[in-house]
Amino acid sequence: MTPFHAGVVTALVTLALDQASKLGLYFGTDLVMTGPWRVAPFADLVVVWNRGISYGLFQQEGGIGRWLLVALSLVASVGLSVWMHRAGSRLLAVALGLIVGGALGNAIDRAAYGAVFDFVHLHAGTWSWYVFNVADAAIVAGVVGLILDSLRPVARPPDSAAPEGEGPRP
């Protein structure tokens, strides 16, 4: 499988898992009426509608802001997909696929509901992390993948190590 195909499959699987988890929890359970649900001593399922971006920044109450965030997500997804098409490694393509799938999943929420459905709340004692969803987790994992890919040494053919105009030395 080429890096690009691996990235596209990753994006599609991420998008499907994100939307299935959101639709399943929202329409397939009574979480909205009975939550939060404790699933572990450090994790709850809750319903939070995020009208902004990461960490609740740039909250949008009006339609213009909502559609600007949808458009931004779509433009970013197209740009990242072009980068994915040019990716030379499977790690880079999969990382970009995670980000594209997550961005599209959250864009679908914004377009359909006016906000992103977040539902995972991690906490420990009095410490509380923000509420997120599968798309958010995929975006974070994708960024980690981009960082890891940037730290990998670039493989060069032996002849390309010499400055231009100089051949390999005998």
SS3 letters across 47-84: EEEECCCHHHCCCCCCHHHHHHHHHHHHHHHHHHHHHH
CB atoms within 10 A of CB 161: 8
149 is catalytic: no
Whether 94 and 5 have beta carbons less than 8 Å apart is answered as: no
From the candidates 18, 44, 109, 118, which is the catalytic residue? 118
Distance CA 80, CA 156 (A): 25
Distance CA 22, CA 16 (A): 10
From the candidates 18, 44, 136, 149, which is the catalytic residue? 136
Closest CA to 139 of 166, 162, 116: 116
56: Cα separation from own chain's centroid: 16
Whether 105 and 135 have beta carbons less than 8 Å apart is answered as: yes
118 is catalytic: yes
Instruction: Please name every residue paired with 47 in a beta bridge, in sequence order, or none if there are none.
Output: none
| Residues catalogued as catalytic | 118, 136
